[in-house]
Structure 1
Amino acid sequence: MTLSKTLCKTSLCLAVMALTGAAYAATQAAAPAYPTVTNARLDNATSDNGWLMYRRDYKSNGYAPFKEINTGNVSGLKQVWDYTSTYKQGHEAPPIVNGDYMFVTTPKDELLAFQATTGKLLWKYQHDLSQVGLKTVCCDVVNRGVALHGDEVYMATLDNYVVALDAKTGKVEWKKQIIAPDIGYAMTLAPLVVKDKVVVGLSGGEYGARGRIVALNAKTGKVVWTSYTIPAPNQPGGDTWPKGAYKTGGGGAWLTGTYDQETNTLFWGVGNPGPWLATLRPGLNLYTDSVIAMDPATGKIKWHYQYTPHDTWDYDGTNETVLTDISYQGKSYKALVSASRNGWFYAIDRTDGKLIYAKPFVTATSVNGIKDGQMTTDEAMRPAIGKQVFTCPSFLGGKNWWPISVDPETHMAYVPAMHTCMTISGTTVSYKAGLPFLGETFNVTADPKFKGQWGDVIAINLDTGEPAWHHPSALPWNDGMLSTAGGLVFSGSADGYLYAFDAKTGKVLWKSPQMTSGVIGVPSTWKVDGKQYVSLWAGWGGATPIWGGDMAKDPAVKRIPLGGHLYVFSL
């Protein structure tokens, strides 16, 4: 090779490098600025223009103080951009927005970053699940979203990793596996960042996994503490289990918790005990079907309240806990409210765990009352080997995982509810890692009081616990709720519409054009440059079509199309 040819090729190489560098610089210049998510911003997420965490702020009320879209102009909402995913499973995550960045996850742990105002795809991360069987993931291979802190975005995965990525580029900063997959454990929840810690919970109650909540250092991924939801014999509550049963006791912590800044308390819901059949594990079985209050620095449990003692109906207590102030029977309370799977709406004093009130919001026959501030159950409604019972609600619950919203202006909670019952009977079962650990057979049926009506949106007056309005639905209503200072409540239907309700009356003020699939994705709203947007995934899936019994066999439910489609609306 001659020197001139060498120089020519080198010059060409330099020119190409210069062009590549210019293109990279142009790309970086075109990308929106990324505002760092400090602890102070998380503490004040209520007033932020973005949607910085799973339920917007630490109170978990799914409420935004935005009025740009309101009862007077909501009829003018139009789609401004959309995105179609490649997955046919359930799309359950809310879009998380910081500045002009949107982060949203799909089934099977794909994380997408968009420019929030335009829909431009900035980067994509696909978590490698090629070596994972996913056979012990309950209720669809879903992901419920991300957490933000600093310049990182955090995702929990189906094979039990927590992954930290650079929010601007998608580069993996660190990843930490909590426990091996395919033995009963999985993670589907959105993490919660509190005081520089990334907090996650594991699922697996249907496989005899022992539930736990884990906090990791947000910068390094190092595990700071682990709090087991099923106590060992030498721990408080350990005597509520038969000998050795705590090791396979269930108690999944598979939904995102809530943090009370005033008392520095972390609240987390705990799922069903294992096996389902209660006669195999005498006792109260703490802390299953409970909300637990923890010290976020150590994970130590401060107090608990058990929604369903000695559960045998799979009435998970994981449903989100919302922090709000209420006035009940002339007395003011700092409350924690939750619409439970067992069909009861709870208000609990979040300072000490004492019950303020509990009232059924759907037909509830198994959990039947209150005595000395604790829930009671009907012994006749307990299945056994050779005994079948008919009870309400079904194990899918009066409300499943999809979150309620609480509006501090109307003092109402908006509940996506289902009217179902079930037949359930006991069977023999023994524990084997990685196999279902139930001991019961079951079938979901219609509630005889609500024939032809699987679903409902119910507004509950927080100061009385009584319904304020209903929006009945022939199809199940499996979507989360979003309320705003514009006097609106948003939620998506199983037949593929986004609804805007009048928050005070329940009147439908707007309905989107029909989307390409039914909706179980949690809606969120945010502002950029003073303009308000509303977004959500359409993408039917989750528990209802898998476990829904007669409801899943309903021809109208069977016709709901699949496929993920992200929609963004604005005026």
Structure 2
Amino acid sequence: MNTTKRFGLWAALGCLLAVSAAASASDYKPVTDARLLHAASDDGWLMYRRDYTSSGYAPFKQIDTANVKRLKLAWDYTTEYHTGHEAPAIVNGDRMFITTPKNELLAFQASTGKLLWKYKHDLSKAALRTVCCDVVNRGVALYGDDVYMATLDNYVVALNAVSGKVVWKHQLMRADKGYAMTVAPLVVKGKVIVGVSGGEYGARGFIQALDAKTGKEVWRRYTVPAPNEPGGDTWPKGAYKTGGGATWLTGSYDPATDTLFWGVGNPGPWLATLRPGKNLYTDSVLALDPNDGKVKWYYQYTPNDTWDYDGTNETVLTDIDYQGKTYKGLVTASRNGWFYAIDRTDGKLIYATKFATATSVAGFKDGQPYTDDSKRPAVGKEIYTCPSFLGGKNWWPISVDPQTHAAYVPTLHTCMTMKGTTVAYKAGLPFLGESFNVTRDKHFPNEWGSVQAIDVNTGKQVWRHGSKLPWNSGMLSTAGGLVFSGSADGHLVAFDARTGKVLWKSPQMTSGSIGVPSTWISGGKQYVAIWAGWGGGTPIWGGDMAKDPAVRNIPTGGHLYVFTL
């Protein structure tokens, strides 16, 4: 081909690609503040838990209890990774954005599965040895024309949603001191809000807000206060510098009061005899001003935690009618085995009920929890307690259905032995001070897990579905009367939201699921998606549960499944 013809061909191809890109860009509807405020009624799935309440509930009725058995595979996609896949599919219009382990971000046409672009973050220089509990990523946030991802080496990366090109990236901390990021960002009023992992390495936790357009830091709120700050006197001298308090699960936001709610993890080291005091604000929920990060109020689930019970679990905002009074509530199923309902206007406890066997947090007095001293380990003292440090519930989120007034909770049934050991802080090394082993909960001799429905107005169990394997997947509820979640034996399961009856199970997936399902409408059709991809903390830290042959032999490998009628 001569030079003139070759140039003409490439010029024509360039014009075609330019026109195609322009049309593609014009099809993308920007995600505005108004759309985020009304995400609950959007046809897409615009943020980690669908809307600012973190409800995980969609008002879609196309797939319902009568026709769910007709669900078929629409499309699927396989990754190269054999570790935990936790992210939900985030969907705007007909575009899906979903992350894999090790910070790969994929953009698909949501209705067909056509791969539009792929971004793979460079982790070649990252200190992945200091990442706790698998190299997972929990998803993205959308704002304007951009998509945002937090990375294992502590960057927040903004990419153009249409082209996949990097707009900006900003590193919050070095990656060799125990800090990592696995959180799905939350965008509030033009700010990208993220939290850090690292509580097992003595990292001092914080919540960070960045300007969505530029990546510039707006504010940072440390979760372990310095001595001159409120709560600083709840720590021994100097302990705040290595106090833990990681913030690695996405928060919620109440626009009516302009309040951000974010969970805070365990203190460091694990062994509490080394840090007497309540150790604020670890194992707490913080109510923050999203404009400057100032603390409005807090509630601590487990004071002076020595069992790694954390407090990072999602906080779902919902109205509660309790004993004849209506509250603007916040509910969470805590790692310590208690289901909490809190008044989100002032942080006062409404009620707390056990949803798993719980012995270390023994009860409540004047709205505050107290613990059983006999269940506290020390150097040379071994204890047995429930639940294990994996929690009555862990990373995978609950869903709250406003139709049934029920919270759907993926539950673990484990206990543990725990013994204190000597430990000294060294940057980049585990900072625990305890040895441990996860064991069966004797009250559930044939079950490692379950799914249960809890009435948010009473805290009482409505129904329960037991499982021989752990139940480590998030929950999705819909107006079609359904609850979806992934099972460890490799199925997407649809439950009747009111009774717990299993109405449908997907064909066998290639791996067990720790994924978070989501649903959306594209082209007039409702879809449901979930990652299969076993991993997370259970295979690494699961003790007797991880050694169970049925658990040990769960296949791995990432595989995205998208279903429709």
The TM-score bracket by the shorter chain reads over 0.9
Pick one of 203, 209, 212 that aligns with 1:209: 203
Q: Which residue does 1:354 correspond to in 2?
A: 348
Pick one of 142, 153, 175 that aligns with 2:169: 175
Q: Which residue does 1:98 correspond to in 2?
A: 92
Q: Which residue does 1:297 correspond to in 2?
A: 291
Q: Which residue does 2:328 correspond to in 1?
A: 334
Q: Which residue does 2:453 correspond to in 1?
A: 459
Please show how residues 324-403 of structure 1 align to structure 2 within 5 Å: 324-403=318-397
TM-score by length of 1: 0.98
Q: For residue 64 of structure 1, report the CA deviation from its aligned partner.
A: 0.2
Pick one of 257, 260, 272 that aligns with 2:266: 272
> Which whole-Å CA distance do the structure 2 matches of 1:317 and 1:563 have between them?
29
Q: Contact between 1:362 and 1:419, CA under 8 Å: does it hold in 2?
A: yes
Q: Which residue does 1:510 correspond to in 2?
A: 504
1:427-469: per-residue Cα shift (whole Å, max 9, x none)?
0000000000000000000001101100010100111101000
User: Is residue 2:432 matched to residue 1:438?
Assistant: yes
1:149-173: per-residue Cα shift (whole Å, max 9, x none)?
0000000000000000000010000
Shifted more, 60-69 versus 527-536: the winner is 527-536
Q: Contact between 2:527 and 2:564, CA under 8 Å: does it hold in 1?
A: yes
> Which whole-Å CA distance do the structure 1 matches of 2:81 and 2:185 have between them?
22
Q: Contact between 2:202 and 2:430, CA under 8 Å: does it hold in 1?
A: yes
User: Is residue 2:540 matched to residue 1:532?
Assistant: no
User: Is residue 2:515 matched to residue 1:521?
Assistant: yes
> Which whole-Å CA distance do the structure 1 matches of 2:55 and 2:20 have between them?
40
User: Is residue 2:282 matched to residue 1:283?
Assistant: no
Question: Structure 2 vs 1, CA of residues 27 and 196 (structure 1 numbering), >3 Å: closer, same or farther?
Answer: closer
> Which whole-Å CA distance do the structure 2 matches of 1:193 and 1:264 have between them?
13
User: Is residue 2:210 matched to residue 1:184?
Assistant: no
SS at match of 2:102: helix
Pick one of 26, 38, 51 that aligns with 1:44: 38
Q: Which residue does 1:307 correspond to in 2?
A: 301
Q: Which residue does 1:22 correspond to in 2?
A: 16
Q: For residue 23 of structure 1, report the CA deviation from its aligned partner.
A: 4.5
Pick one of 295, 316, 322 that aligns with 1:322: 316
User: Is residue 2:65 matched to residue 1:76?
Assistant: no
Q: For residue 99 of structure 1, report the CA deviation from its aligned partner.
A: 0.2
Q: For residue 240 of structure 1, report the CA deviation from its aligned partner.
A: 0.2
Q: Which residue does 1:409 correspond to in 2?
A: 403
Q: For residue 25 of structure 1, report the CA deviation from its aligned partner.
A: 3.1
Unmatched tracts of structure 2, length 5 or more: none
1:179-198: per-residue Cα shift (whole Å, max 9, x none)?
10021100001000000000
Shifted more, 528-537 versus 197-206: the winner is 528-537
> Which whole-Å CA distance do the structure 2 matches of 1:90 and 1:140 have between them?
7
Q: For residue 11 of structure 1, report the CA deviation from its aligned partner.
A: 4.4
Q: Which residue does 2:156 correspond to in 1?
A: 162
User: Is residue 2:423 matched to residue 1:429?
Assistant: yes
SS at match of 1:358: strand
TM-score by length of 2: 0.99
Letter in 2 for 1:503: A
Letter in 2 for 1:467: Q
> Which whole-Å CA distance do the structure 2 matches of 1:90 and 1:213 have between them?
24
Q: For residue 72 of structure 1, report the CA deviation from its aligned partner.
A: 1.0
> Which whole-Å CA distance do the structure 1 matches of 2:27 and 2:84 have between them?
32
Q: Contact between 1:93 and 1:143, CA under 8 Å: does it hold in 2?
A: yes
Question: Structure 2 vs 1, CA of residues 306 and 56 (structure 1 numbering), >3 Å: closer, same or farther?
Answer: same
Question: Structure 2 vs 1, CA of residues 17 and 175 (structure 1 numbering), >3 Å: closer, same or farther?
Answer: same
Percent pairwise identity: 74
> Which whole-Å CA distance do the structure 1 matches of 2:541 and 2:39 have between them?
36
Letter in 2 for 1:43: L
Pick one of 538, 560, 563 that aligns with 1:544: 538
Q: CA RMSD in A?
A: 1.1
Q: For residue 530 of structure 1, report the CA deviation from its aligned partner.
A: 2.0
> Which whole-Å CA distance do the structure 2 matches of 1:31 and 1:115 have between them?
13
Q: For residue 528 of structure 1, report the CA deviation from its aligned partner.
A: 1.2
Q: Contact between 2:198 and 2:246, CA under 8 Å: does it hold in 1?
A: yes
Q: Contact between 2:285 and 2:312, CA under 8 Å: does it hold in 1?
A: yes
> Which whole-Å CA distance do the structure 1 matches of 2:13 and 2:523 have between them?
33
Letter in 1 for 2:533: G
Q: Contact between 1:142 and 1:542, CA under 8 Å: does it hold in 2?
A: yes
Q: Which residue does 1:150 correspond to in 2?
A: 144
> Which whole-Å CA distance do the structure 2 matches of 1:519 and 1:377 have between them?
34
Q: For residue 382 of structure 1, report the CA deviation from its aligned partner.
A: 0.1
Please show how residues 478-497 of structure 1 align to structure 2 within 5 Å: 478-497=472-491
Please show how residues 549-568 of structure 1 align to structure 2 within 5 Å: 549-568=543-562
Letter in 2 for 1:38: T
Letter in 1 for 2:154: N
Q: Contact between 2:46 and 2:142, CA under 8 Å: does it hold in 1?
A: yes
1:75-122: per-residue Cα shift (whole Å, max 9, x none)?
110010000011001000000000000000000000000000000000
Question: Structure 2 vs 1, CA of residues 470 and 262 (structure 1 numbering), >3 Å: closer, same or farther?
Answer: same
> Which whole-Å CA distance do the structure 2 matches of 1:30 and 1:235 have between them?
50
SS at match of 2:241: helix
Question: Structure 2 vs 1, CA of residues 467 and 32 (structure 1 numbering), >3 Å: closer, same or farther?
Answer: farther
> Which whole-Å CA distance do the structure 2 matches of 1:457 and 1:31 have between them?
42
> Which whole-Å CA distance do the structure 2 matches of 1:18 and 1:262 have between them?
53
Please show how residues 56-67 of structure 1 align to structure 2 within 5 Å: 56-67=50-61
Q: Contact between 1:32 and 1:100, CA under 8 Å: does it hold in 2?
A: no
SS at match of 1:108: coil
1:40-62: per-residue Cα shift (whole Å, max 9, x none)?
00000000000000000000000
SS at match of 1:450: coil
Q: Contact between 2:302 and 2:309, CA under 8 Å: does it hold in 1?
A: yes
> Which whole-Å CA distance do the structure 2 matches of 1:178 and 1:107 have between them?
20
Q: Which residue does 1:569 correspond to in 2?
A: 563
Q: Contact between 2:380 and 2:420, CA under 8 Å: does it hold in 1?
A: yes
Q: Which residue does 2:48 correspond to in 1?
A: 54
SS at match of 2:11: helix
Letter in 2 for 1:416: P
Letter in 1 for 2:94: D
Letter in 1 for 2:519: T
Please show how residues 109-128 of structure 1 align to structure 2 within 5 Å: 109-128=103-122
Q: For residue 26 of structure 1, report the CA deviation from its aligned partner.
A: 4.2
1:323-347: per-residue Cα shift (whole Å, max 9, x none)?
0001111111000000000000000
Letter in 1 for 2:364: I
> Which whole-Å CA distance do the structure 2 matches of 1:513 and 1:388 have between them?
45
Question: Structure 2 vs 1, CA of residues 190 and 30 (structure 1 numbering), >3 Å: closer, same or farther?
Answer: closer
Letter in 1 for 2:90: I
> Which whole-Å CA distance do the structure 2 matches of 1:16 and 1:339 have between them?
59
Unmatched tracts of structure 1, length 5 or more: none
Pick one of 216, 233, 236 that aligns with 1:222: 216
Q: Contact between 2:127 and 2:153, CA under 8 Å: does it hold in 1?
A: no
> Which whole-Å CA distance do the structure 2 matches of 1:268 and 1:478 have between them?
22
> Which whole-Å CA distance do the structure 1 matches of 2:207 and 2:166 have between them?
23
Letter in 2 for 1:148: L
